[in-house]
Amino acid sequence: MIEETVDSAAIASASTKRKSLWLLAIRNPAVIFGGTILLLMVAIAIFAPYLGTIDPTRIDPAMRNKKPGTEITLRLDDGSTVKRTAYMGTDTLGRDVYSRVLYGTRVSLIVGIAVAALSLAFGLIIGMVSGYIRWLDGFVMRIMDGLMAIPGIMLAIALVSIWRSGLITVIFAIVVPEVPRVVRLVRSIVLTVREEPYVEGAISVGTPTWTLMMRHILPNTIAPLIVQGTFTAAAAIITEAILSFLGIGIPPETPSWGNIMSEGRTLFRIFPHNILYPGIFLALAVLAINVMGDGLRDTLDPKMSKKV
């Protein structure tokens, strides 16, 4: 009989073969591209006051509808005047579009991140419960089917008429129809993983259900959830812009890309800059998140991509 012993050197070399997926992920060009733009957006959101902006809500009737690049004169509270260039022009109330767009980044990113985080959190909990506790499954999933049938925009209109428009209402309205998608994803993963022999092995050594879920089942859902999260965030940013554009999202005094575009709509033909610049930012943010999501999926979930 040939003795099979562990060759430590062979094992050590084997360990270097399987690099960490996360290391691979951050080397993926799509992730680098999307991540860089996204980091830039985050920086803009955080440092908006220091990027040559003025109060985005400041109304100046004398300086209405200036084209991008126009020199404008600001009258300060102490009566002195300051000259500055309106890089992106001003809107119909004389507010500086550049400042509004930069401050608007805050709203969009908050909505994107909050919606992604909330829908992932709720989706994960409900999905785990639904996938693991068999008798609850049918009941929970029918409720989820029901939630999925609610269009986000309709729900937002209803909520705004009950409460008032605001960030929380918008986030809630987008999260509700988003949760069932995450639930379905998590549930399908739990259903496959719970049949894995290593999970059954853990059951047979008497692992309590809670430990079993946290230790053996939950980690399998992380990678797909992060991928799903990026797409949810991108969709949420767009939905927020749509809601604000329709006037049922963020209150008009708060700058958000949707609000700016909504207000610029009436004079769109003469002064396209009111829609152009927030539009570019919106498109860029969504593109960056989606590209990053694709890159993450390619590395974290090779089954879904052609490249291995």
Partner 1 sequence: MSSDTTPVLEVKNLSVALPPGGDRTNAVDKVSFTVKPGEIVCLVGESGSGKSVIAFTIMGLLAKALRPVSGEILLQGENVLAANEERLRELRCTRMSMIFQEPMTALNPVMTCGDQIDEVLSTHTKLDAAQRKAKIIGILTRVKLPEPERIYASFPHQLSGGQRQRIMIAMALVLDPVLLIADEPTTALDVTTQAEILKLIAELQGSQGTGVLFITHDFGVVAEIARRVAVLRWGELVEMGPTEQILSRPQQAYTRMLISSVPSIHPVHRGVRLEKETVLRTEKLGKTYSAKSFFQKARVVKAAVDVDLDIRRGETLGIVGESGSGKSTVARCIARLIDPTEGKVFLGTTEIATISPSRLRPHRRRVQIVFQDPYRSLNPRITVGDSIVEGPMNFGLKRDEALGRARKLMETVQLDPNALDRYPHQFSGGQRQRICIARALAMEPELLIADEAVSALDVSVQKQVLGLLDEIRQRLNLAVLFITHDLRVAAQICDYVAVMSQGRVVEYGAAEQVFSAPKHAYTKSLFAAAPGRNWEFGKFAAA
Binding site for partner 1 (CB under 8 A): 1-6, 8, 11, 14-15, 17-18, 196-208, 211, 215-216, 219
Least Å from the CB of residue 101 to partner 1:
43
Least Å from the CB of residue 3 to partner 1:
7
What does the angle CA 44 – CA 49 – CA 51 come to, to the nearest 5 degrees?
60
Least Å from the CB of residue 303 to partner 1:
15
Q: Closer CB to partner 1, residue 4 or residue 253?
A: 4
Percent of the chain as helix, strand, coil, to the nearest 5: 70, 5, 25
Nearest one of 74, 56, 32, 15 to 299, comparing CA atoms: 32
Q: Closer CB to partner 1, residue 74 or residue 202?
A: 202
Q: Closer CB to partner 1, residue 85 or residue 211?
A: 211
Q: Closer CB to partner 1, residue 226 or residue 236?
A: 226
**86: β partners:** 70
Least Å from the CB of residue 16 to partner 1:
10
- Please give the span between the terminal C-alpha atoms of the chain, in angstroms, as a whole number: 39
199-215 CB burial, b ≥16 within 10 A, e <16 = beebeeeeeeeeebbee
CA of residue 122 relative to chain centroid, distance = 15
Nearest one of 163, 187, 186 to 173, comparing CA atoms: 163
Least Å from the CB of residue 147 to partner 1:
20
Q: Closer CB to partner 1, residue 211 or residue 266?
A: 211
